[in-house]
Structure 1
């Protein structure tokens, strides 16, 4: 019995050694970086991650002496953009090469609790000769692969560059070695649409319970549908895409007909939004030049200002229809160098107003409207950001000056297009120093 025991143990040991000698079906590569940045702002703004991710200077009115309340200097030291990830290469499945990517950082809940882990990437890719299927969370198709700006700030050109990572199912197909078409079904996760979290009655003040949530897209029961095409040839990249998105802004409305009891009514009304993107890039030797433009509706989930408003209202049931704001945003980015690298970024965003007229909750002399979204009262935003970078082995140092100017609508709203009759300009000057050690 003792000899049999040692014989079984020896066979098991040899089998284990033999298995270890075979090529492993799965391999993993860890990567990431430690990122530290310090920055100074002259005007508080709409931001995320403890102001690391600066979007636009935010007008909050003036005091009795006419001084802007948000025009106050602020600074920060931060390492929360530090990142770690793993790339996984797996066995062949269904004649496809398989890979996966899991990536996280410390930016957590960008609003409530940024200093915690969050999922950035979590996806698996099945690759065949002329096609690939991605399932999981990654960049939104409007991010446009490699065509995004090289800047020093964590905002990566937002709000001029679409910024969104979401769970999706995406199919890429090569019609030609240089020409690819893509189709994707995309849901919302960390970057969300706006809607009503609560309605007490159908009056503007009672409809102010606006919230940002992925539920408004999920309640529509239709994922965002995105189609793209891209051509790559001799250093040039040219691409275009289109998106169709639906949200359900509320599950119910409240009747307010005179002389009747206040009752809730189920709402099935959806808001449809259409958006388009076009982009190009030229890369040769040490020079990279990129440009992108986006024209679309209700693109708050892409971190682009805008939203929508109430178009019609039935007083008896509170039933509403909606109309989206149209927005145009664009940027140009040029970078030259390798060890010593100089860059320039310029972006412009314009609020083009609502597609159709808004419902007037007030009077002809004192109009009032209900609008939801990401600062839908902003009229335009412009930015210029020169930068200089030093790259030594795994170390990258970037010094950047970022000037962002925003024009906000004030006073009386024009219900014909959702824009305002007067405006005020606000400007932020940001100085940013970033250090990144990659591994």
Structure 2
């Protein structure tokens, strides 16, 4: 009994000590908005749910002497309405603990038909102390976290990375204006392309997370970022018994490893905000760039595949001005140049003309370049916003060569989009 009493006393002392360290003053900040888009396009296009998330106009498709993609369309909906809560105020032994949960209704539709359903956007916990912080959960991919000042849903894509995804991220502020970011990243909603179409199975069976390393500079009204990531996936789920039996090992056997790099800058001059982002990607389909890859060889002895990825240099720049009272005009310019693969890939085709050993996202092998010009204006009326934008997107289409690059029969296809926004913030 005496030992039991002593043990209980020690537990009470320990609990009291922990309670003294726990300086918890929880704070929950709820936020969100009701957002309506009204969208008109002059051409059938490659676009996401409800056709709000825009990539590019579709190529000419002649049927009975007419281009069936040369037709107009219109829709409006509130499915991008958003709800969220920021969690802060928790502190333990000097560690500040917080988090975020965020959702919208941008799911449940096939094309423009269906019932909007609640969808997870972000959900993560944060721990920070002495200039070091951890973020664990679903959040913006570090290559996609810096977005342009425009109200359209795609936020500059496909001229810059766009992805929210599961990750473990570490940030270290090691100087007054400098910090380092590292992350291990997985795939869920935004995935690589491959033999099964867009799927997270390729990274699942690759058993290796995407790795990111970035350097950040932030002082006064200027932000600069330089970052790179490495992704290694297995497009085929294979068990090569013969290779194991013969003790043959190759890093590129049934695995494709790609790297991507970006540079971002933002600054404010008076009432003018400037932002720009440049990205060089190999494939890049997992964060909504125009990319893909193909099989460059099939080994005669062991049957494994080796791959080559398409390359893409892309960028956007925005200018916005906040010196006109309630009116805020902005402009985005975007350009993307595709280079194909560095070596020839296999050109075998199915009976329907599709390639057997090539996989792309958003017509990567039949587009030479893309451009976008996107002026807009927002009128702020307290918590209520009205927006109007014009978006001109051009895609230079052609027939792909042995390196998945459009070179023959090049022709420019344009889409004119007019979009209106009505948004209530809370």
Q: TM bucket by the smaller chain?
A: 0.7 to 0.9
CA distance in 1, matches of 2:36, 2:234: 40
Alignment of 1:316-355 (within 5 A): 318-337=303-322, 339-355=326-342
Q: Which of 219, 223, 231 is the aligned partner of 1:237? A: 223
Task: Give the aligned partner of residue 121 of structure 1.
Answer: 122
**CA distance, structure 2, for counterparts of residue 396 and residue 156 of structure 1:** 17
> TM-score w.r.t. structure 1 length?
0.83
Residue in structure 1 matched with residue 50 of structure 2 by the alignment: 50
Q: TM-score, normalised by structure 2?
A: 0.85
Counterpart of 2:291 in structure 1 is: 306
Matches within 5 A, 1:202-281: 211-252=197-238, 269-281=254-266
Pick from 346, 352, 357: which aligns with 1:359? 346
Deviates more, 1:373-382 or 1:297-306: 373-382
Q: Match of 2:29?
A: 29
Change (3 A) 1:114 1:281: farther
Within the alignment, does 1:75 sit opposite 2:64 as a pair?
A: no
Gaps of at least 5 residues in structure 1 are 1-22, 198-210, 255-266
**Residues 58-73 of structure 1 mapped to structure 2, 5 A cutoff:** 58-59=58-59, 61-65=61-65, 67-73=66-72
Structure-2 change in CA distance of 1:371 and 1:302 (3 Å): same
Change (3 A) 1:417 1:36: closer
Matching residue of 2:99: 100
CA distance in 2, matches of 1:126, 1:428: 46
Other-structure match for 1:388: 377
Match of 1:262 in 2: none
> Is the Cα contact below 8 Å between 1:38 and 1:76 reproduced in 2?
yes
Deviation at 1:91, TM superposition (A): 2.0
Shift in alpha-carbon separation, 1:418–1:342, aligned structure 2, 3 A: closer
Aligned pair count? 385
Match of 1:434 among 414, 421, 425: 421
> Where in structure 2 are the equivalents of 1:161-240 lying within 5 Å?
161-197=160-196, 211-240=197-226
Deviation at 1:282, TM superposition (A): 0.9
Q: Distance between the aligned counterparts of 1:360 and 1:46, measured in 2?
A: 25
Displacement after TM superposition at 1:24 (Å)? 6.3
Distance 1:435 1:293 in 2: 31
SS of the equivalent of 1:217 reads helix
Task: Kindly provide the CA deviation profile for residues 82-118 of structure 1, in whole angstroms up to 9, marking residues without a partner as x.
Answer: 0000111142135211111000000125767672111
Q: 1:43, 1:90 → 2: CA distance?
A: 50
Asked if residue 398 in structure 1 is aligned to residue 397 in structure 2, the reply is no
Offset of residue 360 of structure 1: 4.1
* Aligned counterparts of 1:360 and 1:82: Cα–Cα separation in 2: 44
- Secondary structure at the counterpart of residue 213 of structure 1: coil
What secondary structure sits across from 1:176 in the alignment?
coil
Q: Secondary structure at the match of 2:195?
A: strand
In 2, the alpha carbon distance for the partners of 1:314 and 1:124 equals: 46
Contact 1:313-1:359 at 8 Å conserved across structures: no
User: Structure 2: which 5+ residue stretches go unaligned?
Assistant: 1-22, 241-251
Q: Deviations over 1:402-429 (max 9, x none)?
A: 000011222xx32146444222321110
2:17 equivalent in structure 1: none
2:158 corresponds in structure 1 to: 159
Give deviations 1:6-54, integer Å, cap 9, x for gaps.
xxxxxxxxxxxxxxxxx96322111000001101000111111110111
Asked if the contact 2:24/2:91 (under 8 Å) is kept, the reply is no
Secondary structure at the aligned position of 1:218 is classed as: helix
The answer to whether the Cα contact below 8 Å between 1:397 and 1:434 also exists between their aligned partners in 2 is yes
Give, in angstroms, the shift of residue 75 of structure 1: 0.4
**Counterparts of 2:183 and 2:414, CA distance in 1:** 38
Q: Secondary structure at the match of 2:359?
A: strand
Q: Look up the SS of the partner of 2:308 in the other structure.
A: strand
